[in-house]
Amino acid sequence: MTGTTKHIAFIFDLDGVLVDTARYHFLAWQRLAQELGIHFTEKDNERLKGVSRMQSLQIILELGNRQLPQAEKEALATRKNEWYVGYISRLTPNDVLPGVVDFLESAREKGIRLAVGSASKNAMTILERLAIKNYFAAIITGHDTTHAKPDPEVFELAAARMQVAAKHCVVFEDAAAGIEAAHRAGMLAVGIGRAANLSQADLLADGLHDLTVERVLTAFEKRFLTEKNIKDEGLHS
C-alpha cells in the first residue's frame, strides 16, 4: 500500500484503547448496583464494554431480575453518569495509555486519517482533558448514534465523515462487540487487550505501545491482496 496511505483511515475506540476509563465506569455502575441491591462484579462489567449507557443499565437490572419504568431507568442512568463525570474530571494528559501519542503521531506523519468511534457520550470531554482531540478528523460519540455496537453504525459514520471507504478503514477495539461491529462494517479489526476476549480480531496487541503503524499496514495490505485474489479467481473460474 506504499504511497496510498492518504486513502486509509484508522478508527479508535476510546475506553481501553486510548485511555483506561473502564475502571471509572465499573466503579460508577457498581455504586448504582449496590444502591439497587444488585451484586455486580468486574466479570459482570465485561458485558458492558462497548455497550450504550441504557443497554448497560438494562444488563445490570437483568442481573438482579429487576424491571423498572423507563423514566426511573433514565434517572438512574443519569445518576451513574454524574458519578462517572466526577471521576473523569480528574483526567490529565498523563492518563493517555502508553504508546498512544507516538502511534497517532506516526500515523499522522504517513497521511493516515484518524477518527474516534465511541459509545461514550463523554468522549469529547475525555479527549479534551487528555489533550489529544486535535489528532482526529472525525469524532463519533454516543450523541451521534442510535444503535450500539455490535451494530456498525458508529464506524460507518466515522468513515463517512472522513470520506473514506469502509474497506479502507482499520478499527482499534478492546471489546468483542466492537470487533464484531468493525467486521460488520467491512473493516479490518485490531484487538487491543487480552486475546481470550478478542478471538475474532484480525490482529492482536496488548496496546498501541505494542504496535507499529507499519505492522498494521502490513496486515491491511495482506487482507486487501487476499480479497483481490479471491475476487480475481471468481472472475476467471
The set of cell numbers assigned to 166 is 469502509
Calpha distance 166→200 (Å, rounded): 18
Asked if 210 is an active-site residue, the reply is no
CA dihedral 68, 74, 77, 81 (to 10 degrees): -170
Query: Which domains, and CATH codes, for the chain?
Result: 5-19+96-236 (3.40.50.1000), 22-88 (1.10.150.240)
- Write the pLDDT tens digit of every residue in 3-24: 456 689 999 999 999 999 878 9
- Write the pLDDT tens digit of every residue in 136-182: 999 999 999 999 899 999 999 999 999 999 999 999 999 999 999 99
- Write the pLDDT tens digit of every residue in 83-111: 999 999 999 999 999 999 999 999 999 99
Q: Kindly report the pTM of this predicted structure.
A: 0.82
| Identified catalytic residue from 13, 20, 44, 151 | 13
Exposure pattern of 12-23 as b/e (b: 16+ CB <10 Å)? bbbbbbbbebbe
Asked if 13 is an active-site residue, the reply is yes
Work out the angle at residue 210's Cα, subtended by the Cα atoms of residues 205 and 212, and round it to the nearest 5 degrees.
105
Q: Rounded to a whole number, what is the distance in angstroms from the first to the last CA of the chain?
A: 27
